[in-house]
């Protein structure tokens, strides 16, 4: 158990994660610049990465991962557009989170079709002991043109 806790501490304290960037907007505000924005929702924190674009029923769905992969805040979100070149509308809630999926830090997604033609979302996430990242295959469905992961 001590090794698991040590691994969690390593992940949380930067040995595998990039350090946070300084808050330059707050410093600019102190010098008379624009006020800092409100804190972003959990999925909106940086980095945003691993874009996956799919076309479904005439719309474009851009899946992405956000936050630090080294912990349980890493999540998968999506945005939808009628045209490839924008504007994309972000979903109000993430598609996958640690709390909602049972996978710690789900992200790095891709959409694949199985032999039967069914769509799946492939993500990586931490094993229960937070020792390694494994690959998970989830059923991907659609409701009113929006992606739904079926657990």
- Each of the 151 residues of the chain gets a pLDDT tens digit; together they read 454 455 454 444 433 333 333 444 444 444 554 444 444 455 666 678 899 999 999 999 999 999 988 888 899 999 999 999 989 999 999 999 998 888 999 999 999 999 999 999 999 999 888 899 999 999 999 999 999 998 7
Tokens 């474009």 sit on residue? 60
Q: Pick the closest to residue 49 from 77, 25, 16, 24 (CA basis).
A: 77
CATH number of 41-150: 2.115.10.20
How far apart (Å, rounded) are the C-alpha atoms in residues 82 and 61? 9
Going from N- to C-terminal start, the domains of the chain cover 41-150
How far apart (Å, rounded) are the C-alpha atoms in residues 84 and 73? 29
């Amino acid at each position: 158990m001590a090794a698991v806790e040590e691994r969690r501490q390593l992940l949380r304290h930067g040995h595998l994660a990039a350090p946070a960037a300084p808050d330059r907007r707050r410093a600019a505000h102190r010098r008379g610049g624009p006020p800092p924005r409100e804190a972003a929702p959990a999925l909106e924190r940086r980095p945003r990465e691993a874009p996956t674009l799919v076309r479904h029923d005439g719309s474009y769905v851009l899946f992405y991962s956000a936050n630090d992969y080294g912990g349980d805040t890493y999540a998968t979100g999506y945005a939808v557009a009628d045209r490839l070149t924008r504007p994309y509308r972000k979903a109000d809630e993430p598609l996958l989170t640690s709390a909602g999926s049972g996978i710690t830090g789900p992200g790095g997604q891709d959409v694949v079709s199985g032999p039967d033609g069914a769509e799946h979302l492939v993500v990586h996430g931490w094993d229960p002991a937070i020792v390694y990242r494994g690959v998970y295959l989830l059923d991907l469905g659609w409701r009113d043109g929006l992606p739904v992961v079926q657990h």
